[in-house]
A and B are shown apart, each in its own frame.
Chain A
């Protein structure tokens, strides 16, 4: 706790070189981790007796080599942008929402309910109603851990994991009972799914305007996702809440001293995160499928965490990270068609990429803060007073003096 005071002078000293340092360091980390992943992937490809250059170029050919390929990539990226933004927003405030998974699942149920029940509404209104319902559903699911965090200090990681588990059962219940598929033709085999949504309730195709096949299901939701990332950027750079959130994330003690209400900030970012999470599943049910199936695509929330880290939790970086993820995912098809390398190679590649990303970023962060310490060393003797490790930890906002699973009374409120 005593180290928090030391962090303050650093903020004043920080000048442009430090900013440049950070940018260069992060860029270097990104390039390094991409390099590691590509190299490790190449080793695997060689082990399968194929040429890395050929496999990689076929992945690129499949994903960005044609207009249709780009359409598929962007359609894959759309939910991931929402999902990564939902992770990034609370992360800036020092909170970890690993409940995006459950939040988007619940949001899909609520949106499906809106589509089925409000089918009498004309097109745009029905879509807006469904999107709002989804956002509210996601917010409601995020509100539980948010409120518990603020009122009782229950760690959000534990509560969101548990909310994920509840969400999976909830969607099962909804598909079995209130949203059961009852429009099926008599005697036909009935999948566990909802009724088809009304035609006017589906989000329009965007790809046609660019000559992209309708099979890609590229929808207007992509533009909504990009808009959302700009909104998040604006929120953090230009609003009071964003400033307070970053302050809470950097150092709860200083933020409180600066007059921010930590609990209110934490709850707000969690609700915003839930609303963003709510939009994750919309590409799937409103553009791809037109109903909510039982075998909905899972793990979009967890993938969003990977994408958020790849994009360094920066809203614009996330858009590019999601596209990169989409390129790899789409590349699977290339492996399936003409290669001995199993298509699962792509998932392994993504795994190596995200692992090397978290590790190189961590190293870069430590390097940067060590360099910053050196710079401060010339400014004041204060810096030499405490052990380097302590100061470093304080600067990184890792001054969780108690563990991730800490009980109520040990936590910052």
Chain B
């Protein structure tokens, strides 16, 4: 049995799980507050270039070393992502532009903005030098000494993976127990009712959208700095859309998102692991078809063939404010 292959595929899947889950959580905050965000891919793209720059800048230029340099790199990705999400927030909340339109514009602009930033950061427009600083991998006692090659799954485990997975607790708690989260969700379900209870809908929606940018940006920063080691144009590979798919399938629920993010992460990982593609059923299926799985599953689910997809009731709808204008 190719345990090693499975383990390595798992290892890759953890990486992609992290990217998809963090981005998905971003989308969750935004959409739970009532603002549809299909610009996740664009937010991630901005996160990749600024995260890669941040890791290098804080680690080498400012000489902060481990672990603060790479951590501040992630923070840089989050900050740029949030700033870029601010565009979406201003457009959709203040000016009530259609959420889909604004999201598409975000994705479109992100590619150019990333090149522009890259030019400013690295002096070249489509990539940075490889081998940038990243967080030291963790060795978890027990897991890293599993027999039969299974330990490979936890080799080079980035702390970000653990943090992303643990993020489910604070997010769940915030959304279900904190006044802030309940109000945020109220804005996404019924903004008029929230308003009548004295909740400032726009403020919460702004917070939701900015958080989505921070999470997606951090995810992009992780992908560029920690996983790949440098920024390269196109390195997000549509993972922002896969995150959106996972978010939809999870019914906008952070706990279920955990599962779908990992599942889709695994689907992305299979074709990258040569040994596994020689194995079992997968052998006869071209890798390109495996890559289609997340999208196909989502279409099937959204069409109502399997289960039920129920988004926040007011997501995508402009809130007119107290008196309307």
Contacts and interface: CB of A to CB of B under 8 A. Distances in A.
Interface of A: 96, 98, 144, 148, 152-155, 157-159, 161-166, 168-170, 172-173, 176-177, 299, 302-303, 305-306, 309, 342-345, 347-348, 350-351, 354-355, 358-359, 362-363, 366, 370, 387-389, 392-393, 398, 400-408
Contacts of A144: 299
A163 B313 contact: no
A125 B281 CA distance: 43
A154 B116 contact: no
B316 A405 contact: yes
B89 interface: no
B91 interface: yes
Given A159-B299, A165-B241, A355 B105 contact: yes
A402 B320 contact: no
A153 to B, nearest CB: 7
B105 A358 contact: yes
Classify the interface of chain B: helix, strand, loop or mixed.
Answer: helix
B107 interface: yes
Interface string B269-302: 0000000000000000010110110111011001
Given A406-B316, A407-B304, 13 more contacts: A152-B303, A157-B38, A162-B241, A165-B241, A177-B286, A302-B107, A303-B108, A347-B113, A362-B96, A400-B317, A402-B313, A403-B36, A405-B311
Interface residues of B, number: 61
Contacts of B296: 162, 166
Contacts of A176: 286, 288
B142 interface: no
B238 interface: yes
B9 interface: no
Contacts of A351: 105, 108-109, 112-113
Interface of B: 31, 34, 36, 38, 87, 91, 95-102, 104-105, 107-109, 111-113, 115-116, 119, 125, 238, 241-242, 244-245, 248, 286, 288-289, 291-292, 294-296, 298-299, 302-305, 308-318, 320-321, 324-325
Contact of B324 (A153, A389, A401, A407): A389
Contacts of A389: 320-321, 324
Main secondary structure of the interface of A (DSSP, over half): helix
B286 A173 contact: yes
Contact of A168 (B38, B113, B238): B238
A363 B95 contact: yes
Nearest to B244: A161
Contacts of B87: 355
A344 B303 CA distance: 40
Nearest to B102: A358
Given A166-B292, A400-B317, A405-B315, A306 B105 contact: yes
A344 B241 contact: no
B109 A161 contact: no
Nearest to A401: B317
Contact of B248 (A153, A402, A405): A405
Chain A to chain B: the 10 pairs with minimum beta-carbon distance, closest first: A347-B112, A404-B316, A389-B324, A403-B316, A351-B109, A389-B320, A403-B315, A173-B288, A405-B311, A162-B295
B97 A98 contact: no
A162 B111 CA distance: 20
Contact of B311 (A154, A164, A362, A403): A403
Nearest to B299: A162
B91 A359 contact: yes
Given A159-B302, A165-B292, A344-B116, A305 B317 contact: no
Contacts, number: 177
Contacts of B298: 158, 162
B248 A158 contact: yes
Contacts of B119: 342, 344
B150 to A, nearest CB: 30
Contacts of B299: 144, 148, 154, 158-159, 162-163
Contact of B288 (A163, A172, A354, A401): A172
Contacts of A355: 87, 91, 105, 109
A157 B248 contact: no
A351 B113 CA distance: 8
A303 B315 CA distance: 25
9 contacts: A154-B302, A157-B100, A158-B299, A159-B302, A165-B245, A165-B294, A348-B109, A348-B116, A405-B316
Nearest to B104: A305
A158 B295 CA distance: 10
Contact of A169 (B105, B289, B317, B320): B289
Contacts of A408: 304
Nearest to A306: B108
Question: Which of B115, B302, B305 counts the most A-chain CB atoms under 10 A from its CB?
Answer: B302
A398 B111 CA distance: 30
Nearest to A370: B325
Given A176-B286, A305-B108, A169 B291 contact: yes
A398 B238 CA distance: 29
B112 A165 contact: no
A45 B303 CA distance: 48
Contacts of A177: 286
Contacts of B109: 347-348, 351, 354-355
Nearest to A168: B238
B108 A165 contact: no
Given A165-B242, A355-B87, A355-B91, A393 B320 contact: yes
